[in-house]
Amino acid sequence: MIRRLGPANVAAYRTLRLEALRSHPEAYSSSFEDELKEPTAFFARRIPSIFGCFVGDTIVGTASLVVATGLKLRHKGLVVGVFLDPTHRGRGLARALMEAVIEAARADGLVALRLGVTIGNEPAERLYRALGFRQYGVEVDAIRVGGVGFDEALMALDLE
Ligand SMILES: CC(C)(COP(=O)(O)OP(=O)(O)OC[C@H]1O[C@@H](n2cnc3c(N)ncnc32)[C@H](O)[C@@H]1OP(=O)(O)O)[C@@H](O)C(=O)NCCC(=O)NCCS
């Protein structure tokens, strides 16, 4: 049910991603308006980092593991783009996606995972805490949506 996306999934990923950004603008630092303008190649470039949750042939959720290639940065990963289609929420699918990301990060020899979550996004904060992520900081006014500022909790999971 959880597997890495491939070239065949670009169009479906783009549709789900734009829906995530449109329906939850306060949950992501990327915006619907910006990504709507991007060409297919923009979404295709991201595909290797994305884990998809499949129900049959349909992608209903995503989580991405981004690892910088630089010599001084490649020991840690950043988790972004966590989203579950609303009709499939509350069944443990996001947890399963996150567990797959954590397992892949361990297998790749990473020592830590980081992520940011908008303060007040209770389902996401609880999910990450339940998986062992701990808050190490806060970025005040991290994003602005329609002129309203949102703070972001910076969280990390030690994999060692
Ligand atoms: C956050 C999100 C991915 C959770 O997806 P999900 O499939 O419903 O989550 P799961 O069913 O795997 O639940 C795992 C844990 O998440 C937390 N959680 C999920 N839904 C919750 C809710 N409505 N209220 C509180 N906690 C919730 C709980 O800790 C839960 O564990 P439990 O069931 O043992 O209590 C989903 O709500 C979503 O896509 N939200 C909109 C986008 C978003 O905010 N993404 C995160 C950006 S950082």
**For range 68-72, the mean pLDDT:** 95
What's the topology of domain 2-158? Aminopeptidase (3.40.630)
Q: Angle at which helices 122-130 and 93-107 pack, to 10 degrees?
A: 50
**For range 114-127, the mean pLDDT:** 98
For ligand 1, atom 15, which residue shows the shortest CA distance? 127
**For range 38-55, the mean pLDDT:** 98
DSSP-derived secondary structure letter, 146: T
pLDDT digits (tens, 9 = 90+) for 95-117: 999 999 999 999 999 999 999 99
The full DSSP string for 57-115 is TEEEEEEEEE---STTTTTEEEEEEEEE-GGGTTSSHHHHHHHHHHHHHHHTT--EEEE
- Residue 74 banded pLDDT, cuts 50, 70, 90: very high
Tell me if the pTM is above 0.85: yes
Whole-number mean pLDDT of the chain?
98
Pocket residue to mutate for ligand 1, from 95, 131, 150, most atoms within 8 A of Cβ: 95
The CA R_g of the chain, rounded to the nearest whole Å, is 15
Pocket residue to mutate for ligand 1, from 29, 126, 150, 155, most atoms within 8 A of Cβ: 126
